Amino acid sequence: MGKRILGISSVVLMIVALYLIFVYAGVDAAQGEPFRIFYFHVPVLLLSYLSAILLGSACIMFLYNAEAKWDRAGAVAAELGLVFGGTGLISGMMWAKPIWGKYWVWWDVRLNLQLILVLTFAAYLMLRAYLPNQEKRATLSCVFGLLALVNVPFNWLAIYFVPTLQHPKPVVSPGGGGTDPDMAIAFTCSLIAWCLTYSYLFSTRLAVAQVEQEVEYLEQVVRAS
């Protein structure tokens, strides 16, 4: 019941966010229409950081007490991280082309760190897919989970400490320039909508992962008897 409410409210809020982004919020004076990409690009990438934090924390918990629920949570976080990080990265490229004139700038530290984060999620999932032994799989894949966690602070702080003319600083940061109230409302609504969507997808996928493991165990019991 709670999950259904979460799903419905995320869809409703997403529709409201789209209205606010394309109708309510005005066009950015400096960047024009491509600025609208940020309303989705930023929340999606923030949720990819959250995925990395959840994955890393789940790996630490698994290495600490070897409970299967942490392994499942880590795997789900990695799946969501791959999708959110990957789509965030590509949507950023769609913004970069009209603003920078190219899809990718190889010397931008944040872009490269984000690419590494997405590849870390992919490596984590690929390793899991190729290892049949459940315990070995969970322990070995933790290496990539911890790497994802380590990536986040560097990724987050890269634009503050590495001089770059390319990547814009967050508008709410010191020296970021501030934002128009209409744009702030649209962005906040989008952020909440994406957080709800993420929570819904995470909880649903986690429930499926738990049943998957139980069915796998039942299969072994039935075949053995």
Residues binding other proteins (CB under 8 A)? 33-34, 36-37, 40-41, 44, 79-80, 83-84, 86-88, 90-91, 94-95, 97-98, 197, 201, 204-205, 208, 211-212, 215, 218-219, 222, 225
CA distances from 10 to 17, 89, 185, 195, 197 (A): 10, 22, 17, 8, 5
Cβ count within 10 A of residue 131? 15
Give 36 or 128: the residue with its C-beta nearer to other proteins.
36
Select 2 or 154, whichever has its Cβ closest to other proteins.
2
Select 29 or 222, whichever has its Cβ closest to other proteins. Answer: 222
CA distances from 161 to 91, 153, 178, 194 (A): 24, 12, 20, 28
Residue 28's DSSP bridge partners are 32
Q: Least distance to other proteins from the beta carbon of 35, Å?
A: 9
- Considering the complex, what minimum distance in angstroms separates the CB of residue 111 from other proteins? 15
Runs of H (alpha helix) within the chain: 2-19, 38-65, 68-100, 109-130, 134-161, 181-224
Q: Are 197 and 9 in contact (CB under 8 A)?
A: no
User: 138 or 201, CB closer to other proteins?
Assistant: 201
Cβ closer to other proteins: 18 or 171?
Answer: 18
Shortest approach of other proteins to residue 10 CB, angstroms? 10
CA gap 28, 189 in Å, rounded: 18
For residue 40, the minimal CB distance to other proteins (Å) is: 5
Q: How far is the CB of 175 from other proteins (least distance, A)?
A: 26
Q: CA 220, CA 114: separation in Å to the nearest integer?
A: 40
